[in-house]
Amino acid sequence: MLRDNHRHQWEKDRARRPLATRAATGATEHETGLEVRDLVFHARYREVAAPPELANAFGVPEGTPLLERTYRTRCSTEHAPFSLVTSYLVRAMIAANPDLLDDSNEPWPGGTQNQLHTVGIELSRIEERVTARPPTPGQAWELDLPPGAPVILLRKTSYDITDRVVEISEVTLPGDRAELRFTTLLERW
């Protein structure tokens, strides 16, 4: 799987498109070249109290209700998911649209950027921090990693147009079959 930072603009461009366009393909299909019918998708939502690190990152008091969203997507012919994704949103920011609190609405056509758009939030930038380390035993098992294969940890922080943190995602990728590509466009002199 190739994860490219151009995906974020691709997602933003689609956030306001008609439902039929958004439902036709998502970020996973875009990155893998697979069709929707080739994928098995699972999402689980739960409310959690913001621990100190997330509270600090969101700029909210510790214990603030967050919506924790756990995602697993895999090719229907494989048993390991492409990645392990846990996303956090401040519940109060999205509560105006109750559909955003219900995991049975997943996969959401247009993804997180469209979800945020439904409550008037537009993203202005996304920062991603990448590290690598040996997997935990649970990560090695869930990602079906061979012995010695590392995991790539990607922490994605999404900011709205007022510079407020509106989403934090923690993505664990299998180091033996994931590629990250970052392209930095430079303005001309």
Question: What residue type is assigned to position 7 of the chain?
Answer: R
The overall average pLDDT reported for the chain is 90
What backbone phi and psi angles, to 5 degrees, belong to 6? -70, -15
Report the percentage of the chain scoring pLDDT > 90.
65
Say if residue 48's pLDDT is above 90.
Answer: yes
Best CA proximity match to 119, nearest among 140, 99, 148, 144: 99
Mean pLDDT of the region 68-85: 92
Q: Which of 72-76, 150-154, 180-184 has maximum average pLDDT?
A: 150-154
> Any alpha helices (H) in the chain, and if so which ranges?
7-14, 19-24, 27-32, 52-58, 91-94, 111-117, 137-142
Mean pLDDT of the region 130-141: 96
Instruction: Read off the pLDDT of residues 166-189 as tens digits, 9 standing for 90 and up.
Output: 999 999 999 999 988 887 776 777
Instruction: Read off the pLDDT of residues 78-101 as tens digits, 9 standing for 90 and up.
Output: 999 989 999 999 999 999 999 999
Q: Which of helix, strand or coil describes residue 38? A: helix
Q: Which residues contact 142 (CB under 8 A, 6 or more apart)?
A: 80, 81, 84
Which of 15-24, 69-78, 150-159 has the lowest average pLDDT? 15-24
> Can you give the pLDDT at residue 186?
65
Which of 33-37, 111-115, 149-153, 160-164 has the lowest average pLDDT? 33-37
